[in-house]
Chains A and B, each alone.
Chain A
């Protein structure tokens, strides 16, 4: 890919390409080459992580630092990089609570109540409850899962528990 094309690539395209390249690297039979590439990537990330951590600390300590950081994370590209390095000013828990609070009215109206059960550094658990009689669509479930993952792409997994017992009984009957 030419330098010019790289410059106009969207975040999505970059991440999709990143994914492909990681998969391709895993396929390389030459173990030395594979590990060298992995180490190179780790080192580069590490260099950026260190500088960005210091940059964030300087911003946070300055006048209106908190407000500035909030503005910074509104930018998608910057938010993505801060999330990657664990430097997002909001905790995983708050990010998930925020997105749930923002989306709850819409989700609720369409049949699902969402609540955060627990959130740790690697893993969050969310519970879905049917709200009223309407059967939640797959589309809605997917939408919820996507919204949560977007808010916390740094989690290994978000386990979504749902009380579907009633639904099963209905479909079985």
Chain B
């Protein structure tokens, strides 16, 4: 069968024409503002658009968690190179979060064909929390520690999980060959530049 070389063209066309259409709460179907709340289904990690009421009623439940935009830089993060090596994550870029369905910490890092997920050693995670108290208040399933140690960087962020998936998606779109190629690392650099901008803008707003 000949293939259509336009990827997910049907999805993109649909989104293009509906860009200004009213959005609806995926729970009660009520029309919602273009800036609205999102809930994450813990088991499937699916994102749902929600009206304020549904977000309030369902967020933080057993099945759903409310997603809150978060981007905090952790300037005094405590993690030695040896400890990092001990976590056995094969590349210097990863996010770690507490997964309710997995009943423990999970690491996700980018690779040639998308996200690679592996359980994160529970004792390693406890040590990280002990050395970095701010990790203790990470919201399970929706907030993650983002680690960037590429090219000598030692950057750590607390971010909402949507940003992590955005990074995974971006890497998948740009990855070429085994090592990724120049394009993907440029895209990753841009991602972190944007993230730092957001952190700074937010800090200015909130003093």
Contacts and interface: CB of A to CB of B under 8 A. Distances in A.
A76 B2 contact: yes
Contacts of A169: 90
Contacts of A154: 8, 10-11, 14
Interface residues of A, number: 47
A159 interface: yes
Given A35-B20, A118-B44, A141 B113 contact: yes
B100 interface: no
Interface string A149-173: 1101111111111111100110110
B114 A162 contact: yes
A35 B20 CA distance: 8
Interface string B108-123: 0001111111100000
A164 B168 CA distance: 15
A160 B113 contact: yes
A42 interface: yes
Interface of B: 1-21, 44, 46, 90-91, 111-118, 168-169, 172, 176-178
Given A18-B9, A153-B7, A168-B91, 14 more contacts: A19-B12, A42-B21, A45-B17, A76-B1, A123-B46, A128-B113, A138-B176, A145-B113, A150-B1, A153-B9, A155-B8, A156-B8, A158-B8, A163-B116
